[in-house]
Amino acid sequence: METLHHWIDLILHADTFLPKLIIQYQGWIYLILFAIIFCETGLVVTPFLPGDSLLFAAGTIASSQGSLNIYTLLLLIFVAVFAGDNSNYFIGRYIGPKIFNLNLRFVRKDYLIKTHSFYEKYGGRVLVMARFMPIIRTFAPFVAGVGSMGYTRFLSFSVLGNLLWINVCLWAGYLLGTNEFVKTHFTAVTLAIIVVSLMPAMFGALKGFLNRQRS
């Protein structure tokens, strides 16, 4: 319960949590951000880690406090998500089929199945769309590997989605970082970001539910 509270605090109050980490770890904060984003992207067992909200907060701090450099963040986070996507893809390719056939407590099979159904409907575009959808973006590269999507095709959609996601989240935080409303209502803004990013998945689930009810 304490660990859960810790992660919720990081997600919703990253504007106060990150500065404390910066004071404590100074330049090592870049490595910490790299590790969090890499794990959130590259390991199917850590979809709960913060993504959108963390990048938005990092951009905000880079703008309002100057303790983070926006261009260093852009490069660092791109490397983290590129490495994470590739790790997840090859893990999915080599051991994914075994995981699909096992009932593992730490891997939500329903999320894997939902992500697989997205691939069947939207193809490679899922990698771009999923980058803006928490949880699903963690499973998308893994499922792409399981489905034996060609690596060149995977790479092109992955790089496009990553560039869009990183720039949208970081620059949104950077440009709004000095806005008084954002600084005062950061938690509400973070919640809005999370809700908006989850809306495609929620609409997809609702549509699937309604279709099952009709049939």
Q: Cβ distance 22 to 69 under 8 Å?
A: no
DSSP secondary structure, the chain, as one string:
-HHHHHHHHHHH-HHHHHHHHHHHHGGGHHHHHHHHHHHHHH-TT-TTS--HHHHHHHHHHHHHT-SS-HHHHHHHHHHHHHHHHHHHHHHHHHHHHHHHTS--TTS-HHHHHHHHHHHHHHTTHHHHHHTTSTTHHHHHHHHHHHTT--HHHHHHHHHHHHHHHHHHHHHHHHHHTT-HHHHHTHHHHHHHHHHHHHHHHHHHHHHHHHHHHH-
The Cα-based distances of 139 to 44, 113, 121, 162 in angstroms read 6, 10, 16, 14
Q: What is the pLDDT of residue 138?
A: 86
The pair of structure tokens assigned to 63 is 């703008």
Can you list the residues of the chain whose pLDDT is less than 50? 1-5, 209-210
What integer pLDDT is reported at residue 50 of this predicted model? 75
Question: Residue 214, by phi and psi: left (phi above 0), alpha (psi -120 to 50) or beta?
Answer: alpha
Give residue 196's pLDDT. 65
What is the pLDDT, as a whole number, of residue 113?
Answer: 66
